[in-house]
């Protein structure tokens, strides 16, 4: 007969049975069997001589059931890694959650293996972008949902650096050339990199190259082009009806859409604040597979060490949203 004992057990089932059957004092039994009186009293109170499981009866977790449900839903929907999910959960749900606690939560709900989840919902592979030095920015505009306290929809202007994946956003009430110019000016001031190139689509806020259905050369008098010339920035345009060529910023817009779909906003101010918080989180805390598991800010620091002449100022960690 096989007997399963804990590694540090000081008694056998036979000794335990003798303790339970004896009427002698606990100290006398402890001396007889070479154990502590506490061990004698413990086995006298039990009806069985078998070891109990050491599995804790209460789970050591700081997440509430509702927070666990949200974390599991994000894991299934966004297919993010454990570290990415941990950063999001700490930022928006529970700042006290530990990495091991979140991992146990995912395993309990059978979503611990990200590879299995991706196999059920495979994503199409994307062609790698041509490598450029830091300072090449993809720019695009995304519609935002209209909130209850707003009279019209607003527009999210997004720029992402191709080499470092560093992101900058601004929200405007209209998609105009004046706001595109204002966005580029703010981008140039906020970016630690000297912007050399911006890559946009053929929207009227960015260019006057398209007139109706006809293509023509840009006149150079468009507000956006004028600021590009003043800042010595090359302005490149996508081929007409080819949004996939600006796919890097389109992919980030997909992340923004996931944030919009997973939150319920009470006001336009709350929506804008959440977007800025997410971009701050993305730039400083979310490792990117395209960067070798580095964050955009870490990539900025690496580029600064490698080629400081590409920068206007030294990149550093920000304590809060860059507004």
Domain positions in the chain are 1-55, 65-120, 136-310
Which pLDDT belongs to residue 116? 84
> Given a cut of 50, is residue 323 above it in pLDDT?
no
Q: Average pLDDT for residues 134-161, to the nearest whole number?
A: 92
Which pLDDT belongs to residue 213? 57
With bands split at pLDDT 50, 70 and 90, how would you rate the model's confidence at 322? very low
Annotate the chain with three-state secondary structure: CCCCCCCCCCCCHHHHHHHHHCCCCHHHHHHHHCCCHHHHHHHHCCCCCCCCCCCCCCCCCCCCHHHHHHHHHHHHHHCCCHHHHHHHHHHHCCCCCCHHHHHHHHHHCCCCCHHHHHHHCCCCCCCCCCCCCCCEEEEEEEECCCCCCCCCCCEEEEEEECCCCCEEEEEECCCCHHHHHHHHHHHHHHCCECCCEEEECCCCCCCCCEECCEECCCCCCCHHHHHHHHCCCEEEECCCCCHHHHHHHHHHHHHHHHHHHCCCCCCHHHHHHHHHHHHHHHHHHCCEHHHCCECHHHHHHHHHHHCHHHECCCCCCCCCCCC
pTM for the whole structure: 0.59
| Share of residues in the chain with pLDDT > 70 (%) | 89
> Given a cut of 70, is residue 122 above it in pLDDT?
no
Cα four-point dihedral sign 27, 28, 29, 30: positive
Q: Which residues does 238 contact at the CB level (< 8 Å), separation at least 6?
A: 199, 200, 201, 202, 245, 246
225-249 confidence digits (pLDDT tens)? 999 999 999 999 888 777 677 788 8
| Share of residues in the chain with pLDDT > 90 (%) | 51
> Given a cut of 50, is residue 321 above it in pLDDT?
no
Which pLDDT belongs to residue 119? 66
> Given a cut of 50, is residue 80 above it in pLDDT?
yes
> Given a cut of 80, is residue 220 above it in pLDDT?
no
Which pLDDT belongs to residue 130? 63
With bands split at pLDDT 50, 70 and 90, how would you rate the model's confidence at 53? confident
Q: Which residue has the higher pLDDT, 4 or 21?
A: 21
Q: CATH number of the domain at 136-310, please?
A: 3.30.420.10
- Rounded distance between C-alpha atoms, residue 4 and residue 307, angstroms: 63
> Given a cut of 90, is residue 309 above it in pLDDT?
yes
162-195 confidence digits (pLDDT tens)? 999 999 999 999 999 999 999 999 999 999 999 9
Which pLDDT belongs to residue 176? 94
- Rounded distance between C-alpha atoms, residue 195 and residue 278, angstroms: 23
Tokens representing 92?
């928006």
> Given a cut of 50, is residue 290 above it in pLDDT?
yes
* CA distances from residue 94 to 86, 112, 168, 275 in whole angstroms, order as listed: 10, 19, 26, 18
With bands split at pLDDT 50, 70 and 90, how would you rate the model's confidence at 124? low
> Given a cut of 50, is residue 61 above it in pLDDT?
yes
């Amino acid at each position: 007969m096989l007997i399963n004992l804990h590694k540090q057990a000081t008694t056998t089932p036979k000794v335990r049975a003798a303790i339970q059957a004896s009427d002698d004092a606990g100290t006398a039994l402890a001396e007889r069997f070479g154990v502590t009186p506490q061990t004698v009293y413990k086995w006298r109170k039990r009806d069985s001589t078998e070891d109990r499981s050491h599995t804790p009866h209460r789970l050591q977790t700081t997440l509430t059931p509702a927070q666990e449900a949200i974390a599991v839903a994000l894991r299934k929907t966004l297919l993010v890694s454990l570290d990415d999910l941990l950063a999001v959960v700490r930022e928006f749900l529970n700042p006290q959650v530990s990495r091991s606690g979140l991992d146990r939560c995912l395993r309990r709900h059978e979503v611990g293996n990200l590879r299995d989840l991706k196999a059920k919902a495979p994503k199409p592979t994307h062609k790698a972008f041509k490598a450029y030095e830091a300072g090449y920015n993809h720019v695009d505009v995304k519609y935002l949902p209209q909130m209850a306290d707003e009279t019209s929809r607003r527009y999210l202007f997004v720029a992402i650096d191709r080499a470092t994946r560093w992101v900058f956003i601004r929200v405007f009430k209209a998609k105009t050339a004046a706001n595109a110019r204002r966005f580029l000016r703010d981008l140039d001031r906020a970016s630690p990199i000297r912007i050399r190139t911006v890559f946009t689509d053929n929207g009227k806020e960015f260019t006057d190259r398209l007139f109706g259905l006809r293509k023509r050369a840009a006149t150079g008098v468009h507000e956006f082009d004028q600021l590009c010339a003043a800042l010595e920035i090359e302005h490149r345009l996508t081929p007409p009806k080819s949004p996939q060529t600006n796919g890097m910023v389109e992919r980030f817009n997909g992340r923004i859409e996931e944030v919009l779909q997973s939150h319920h906003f009470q006001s336009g101010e709350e929506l804008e604040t959440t977007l800025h918080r997410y971009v701050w989180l993305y730039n400083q805390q979310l490792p990117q597979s395209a960067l070798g598991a580095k964050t955009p800010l870490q990539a900025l620091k690496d580029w600064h060490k490698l080629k400081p002449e590409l920068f206007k100022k030294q990149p550093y960690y920000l304590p809060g949203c860059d507004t």
